[in-house]
């Protein structure tokens, strides 16, 4: 897992690396600029393309000047530099890179706040005006120039952080920010890249390693971490030779009503595919033929609550398509009072918990709750922004001992320990009804197999997104309906296990 750092912690990591690695700050800037260019070439395959690099006069601007020189050396001959010299202050590394640029044939123009805007013929703009040093919202000349540049509707690649974009403070939707098609960011994703409010400013971000001291970074005081594939490989265990269905637990999925039986089918089928030894679905009677037709491996308990032998099950998943009527509420109440094993609460189970706070207070420690944003706000109240939601889930997890998954592009997981995990996998092809039901099935299956609630959550959320990523990347699928996701699960899990051997 990689620790996520604030902008000021990254600055300390820069300073530490410079001090302890006998590398000058200028060399670090050169390294960062080289790393940027290595990634950038994929976005400008034609080396004849005109590229305009807009630079400020701080270190982000210094990067821009170095990038111009490195691109030129790499065969991009139509690179031009535009320096927005709005402040008398320059950094020494900016100054030195300006001297180095002067020795090349690259054209560089200087503008001040009042300058008229130059004609812009380049289809690609590189944003090296302001980076992580942003300390107040853009106004005056910066605001005027960025608004103008945004209106040109060019392809924009930002260096480290788009100009005007705060890395850590809550994003204002009316902020003036240089809108970026791609951000090539140094060493770590910045917190706000991972939150949906960034979508209006950034289409895609990429992170490049610039060789900052990883020991120093990992020792920083940050409770936010970025999950990596190796973490999942370390969690998942291969299946032992003499294992049998009893080894992998018996999962109970409580889901579905007549009109939403699909949710029960999807979650129980996902549970089966994610490796539960036995899966039983508690469903209303009209769903039986569909269940048998779709997943003959799955057993059923039909409608009658009294038939559930609670202590028979190693894991429970409740909620998908379950409804919030009195009979469902009765089942949920029974779960909370009669079932003592690990459990996942999703969808309508969460809606009922939101409407019946006394039941919410009965949730045992280490229960997994997996709301999407609407369910989250129903449970915990309205929030102004995602940073507030993160604060709430961190507090609720630590106070109640729960594991909370706030589902999104980068699903966020909070644990009773106070650690906040950001999941990297998943993609917009998953954005259709049923994807969440599959996640519930995966989580229940992992719990049944004996993984701890936290291991289950970190691995389950990762596998869910990774299966969809593989379908998009390897099979070029445009959308990934839930049933395809389910079929991919054993393949994805197999790769994660086998590549470790």
Ligand X SMILES: Nc1ncnc2c1ncn2[C@@H]1O[C@H](COP(=O)(O)OP(=O)(O)O)[C@@H](O)[C@H]1O
Instruction: Note the residues at the interface with ligand NPW (CB under 6 A).
Output: 11, 14, 25, 28-29, 32, 56, 58-61, 63, 89, 91, 130-136, 138, 142, 159-161, 186, 210
Distance of closest approach, residue 285 Cβ to ligand X, in angstroms: 24
Q: Is 372 a residue that touches ligand X (CB under 6 A)?
A: yes
Among 131, 256, 275, 319, binds K ion (CB under 5 A): 131
Q: Are 280 and 252 in contact (CB under 8 A)?
A: yes
Strand, helix or coil for residue 280: strand
Q: Is 41 a residue that touches ligand X (CB under 6 A)?
A: no
How many residues appear in the chain? 501
Q: Is 433 a residue that touches ligand X (CB under 6 A)?
A: yes
Q: Is 409 a residue that touches ligand X (CB under 6 A)?
A: yes
Both tokens of 304, joined, read 């009658």
- 410: annotated binding-site residue? yes
Q: Is 347 a residue that touches ligand X (CB under 6 A)?
A: yes
- 34: annotated binding-site residue? no
Instruction: Count CA within 13 A, CB hemisphere, residue 100.
Output: 19
**Helix ranges restricted to H, 122-260:** 140-151, 214-218, 229-235
Interatomic CA distance for residues 412 and 483, integer angstroms: 24
Distance of closest approach, residue 427 Cβ to ligand X, in angstroms: 5
Residue showing the smallest CB distance to K ion in the complex: 127
Distance of closest approach, residue 133 Cβ to ligand NPW, in angstroms: 2
Closer Cβ to K ion, 60 or 192, answer by number = 60
Q: Is 455 a residue that touches ligand X (CB under 6 A)?
A: no
What one-character-per-residue DSSP string does 330-367 give? Answer: HHHHHHHHH--S-EEE-HHHHHHHHH-HHHHTTPPTT-
Closer Cβ to ligand X, 64 or 426, answer by number = 426
Backbone φ, ψ for residue 21 (5° rounding): -115, 15
- The alpha-carbon radius of gyration of the chain (Å, integer) is 26
Which residues are 183's β-sheet partners? 158, 205
Backbone φ, ψ for residue 63 (5° rounding): -55, -45
Closest to 20 (Cα-Cα) out of 214, 185, 218, 220: 214
Strand, helix or coil for residue 404: strand
Q: Is 457 a residue that touches ligand X (CB under 6 A)?
A: no
Interatomic CA distance for residues 409 and 431, integer angstroms: 9
User: If contact means CB under 5 to 8 A according to the sort of partner, which of ligand X, ligand NPW, K ion, none does residue 29 touch?
Assistant: ligand NPW
Distance of closest approach, residue 115 Cβ to ligand X, in angstroms: 41
Q: Is 369 a residue that touches ligand X (CB under 6 A)?
A: no
User: If contact means CB under 5 to 8 A according to the sort of partner, which of ligand NPW, K ion, ligand X, none does residue 158 touch?
Assistant: K ion
- 112: annotated binding-site residue? no
Integer CA distances (angstroms), 21 to 14, 17, 24, 25, 90, in order:
10, 5, 9, 11, 25
Q: How far is CA 322 from the centre of its chain?
A: 28
Which residues are 281's β-sheet partners? 253, 300
Q: Which residues lie below 8 Å from residue 87, measured CB to CB, with a gap of 6+?
A: 57
Q: Is 434 a residue that touches ligand X (CB under 6 A)?
A: yes
Closer Cβ to K ion, 60 or 492, answer by number = 60
Closer Cβ to ligand NPW, 18 or 419, answer by number = 18
Which of the stretches 123-131, 157-165, 270-278, 408-416 binds ligand X when contact is defined by CB under 6 A?
Answer: 408-416
x/- contact string, 61-90, with ligand X (CB under 6 A)?
A: ------------------------------
Closer Cβ to ligand X, 207 or 472, answer by number = 472
Closer Cβ to ligand X, 396 or 437, answer by number = 437
- 60: annotated binding-site residue? yes
Among 14, 63, 127, 346, binds K ion (CB under 5 A): 127
Closer Cβ to K ion, 163 or 408, answer by number = 163
Q: Is 196 a residue that touches ligand X (CB under 6 A)?
A: no
Closer Cβ to ligand X, 67 or 403, answer by number = 403
User: If contact means CB under 5 to 8 A according to the sort of partner, which of ligand X, ligand NPW, K ion, none does residue 127 touch?
Assistant: K ion
Both tokens of 337, joined, read 């009072």
Interatomic CA distance for residues 167 and 180, integer angstroms: 14
- Residue whose token pair is 């940050």: 222
Q: Which residues lie below 8 Å from residue 442, measured CB to CB, with a gap of 6+?
A: 270, 271, 274, 460, 463, 464, 489
Both tokens of 338, joined, read 């009669």
User: If contact means CB under 5 to 8 A according to the sort of partner, which of ligand X, ligand NPW, K ion, none does residue 396 touch?
Assistant: none
- 163: annotated binding-site residue? yes
Q: Are 349 and 318 in contact (CB under 8 A)?
A: yes
- 464: annotated binding-site residue? no
Instruction: Count CA within 13 A, CB hemisphere, residue 343.
Output: 26
Distance of closest approach, residue 322 Cβ to ligand X, in angstroms: 11
Q: Is 159 a residue that touches K ion (CB under 5 A)?
A: yes
Rounded (5°) CA angle 134-50-128: 10
Strand, helix or coil for residue 478: coil
- 236: annotated binding-site residue? no
Interface with ligand X by CB under 6 A: which residues? 347, 372, 407-409, 411, 426-428, 430-431, 433-437, 439, 464-465
Interface with K ion by CB under 5 A: which residues? 60, 127, 131, 158-159, 163
Known binding-site residues for K(+) equal: 60, 127, 163
Known binding-site residues equal: 59-63, 127, 131-137, 142, 160, 163, 263, 321, 372, 407-411, 436-437
């Amino acid at each position: 897992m990689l620790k996520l750092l604030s902008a000021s912690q990254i600055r300390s990591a820069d300073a530490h690396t410079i001090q302890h690695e006998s590398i000058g700050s200028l060399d670090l800037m050169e390294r960062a600029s080289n790393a940027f260019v290595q990634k950038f070439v994929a976005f400008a395959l034609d080396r004849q393309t005109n590229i305009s690099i807009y630079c400020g006069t701080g270190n982000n601007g210094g990067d821009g000047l170095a990038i111009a020189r490195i691109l030129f050396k790499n065969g991009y001959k139509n690179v031009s530099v535009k320096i927005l010299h709005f402040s008398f202050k320059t950094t020494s590394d900016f100054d030195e890179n300006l001297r180095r640029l002067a020795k090349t044939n690259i054209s560089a123009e200087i503008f001040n706040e009042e300058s008229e805007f130059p004609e812009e013929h380049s289809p690609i703009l590189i944003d090296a005006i302001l980076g992580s040093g942003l300390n107040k919202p853009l106004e005056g000349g910066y605001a005027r120039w960025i608004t103008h540049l945004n209106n040109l509707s060019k392809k924009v690649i930002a260096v480290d952080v788009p100009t005007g974009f705060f890395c850590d403070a809550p994003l204002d939707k009316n902020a003036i920010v240089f809108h970026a098609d791609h951000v090539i960011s140094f060493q770590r994703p910045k917190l706000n890249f991972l939150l949906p409010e960034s979508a209006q400013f950034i289409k895609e971000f990429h992170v490049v390693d610039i060789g900052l001291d990883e020991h120093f970074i990992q020792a920083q005081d940050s409770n936010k971490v970025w999950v990596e594939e190796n973490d999942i490989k370390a969690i998942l265990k291969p299946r032992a030779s003499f294992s049998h269905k009893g080894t992998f637990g018996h999962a109970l999925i409580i889901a579905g009503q007549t009109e939403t039986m699909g949710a029960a089918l999807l979650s129980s089928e996902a549970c089966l595919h994610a490796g539960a030894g036995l899966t039983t679905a508690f469903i209303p009677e009209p769903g039986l033929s569909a269940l048998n037709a779709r997943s003959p491996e799955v057993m059923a308990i039909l409608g009658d609550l009294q038939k559930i032998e609670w202590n028979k099950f190693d894991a429970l998943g409740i909620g998908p398509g379950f409804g919030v009527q009195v009979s469902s509420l009765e089942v949920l109440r029974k779960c909370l009072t009669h079932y003592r094993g690990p459990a996942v609460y999703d969808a309508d189970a969460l809606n009922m918990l939101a409407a019946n706070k006394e039941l919410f207070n009965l949730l045992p420690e280490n229960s997994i709750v997996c709301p999407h944003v609407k369910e989250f706000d129903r449970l915990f109240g309205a929030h102004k922004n995602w940073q507030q939601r993160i604060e709430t889930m961190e507090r609720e997890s630590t106070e109640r001992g729960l594991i909370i998954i706030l589902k999104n592009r980068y699903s966020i997981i909070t644990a009773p320990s106070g650690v906040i995990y950001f999941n990297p996998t998943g993609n917009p092809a998953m954005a259709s009804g049923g994807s969440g039901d599959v996640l519930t099935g995966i989580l229940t299956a992992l719990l049944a197999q004996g993984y701890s609630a936290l291991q289950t959550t970190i691995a389950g959320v990762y596998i869910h997104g990774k299966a969809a990523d593989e379908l998009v990347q390897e099979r070029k699928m445009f959308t990934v309906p839930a049933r395809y996701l389910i079929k991919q699960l054993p393949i994805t899990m197999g790769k994660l296990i086998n590549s470790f051997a």
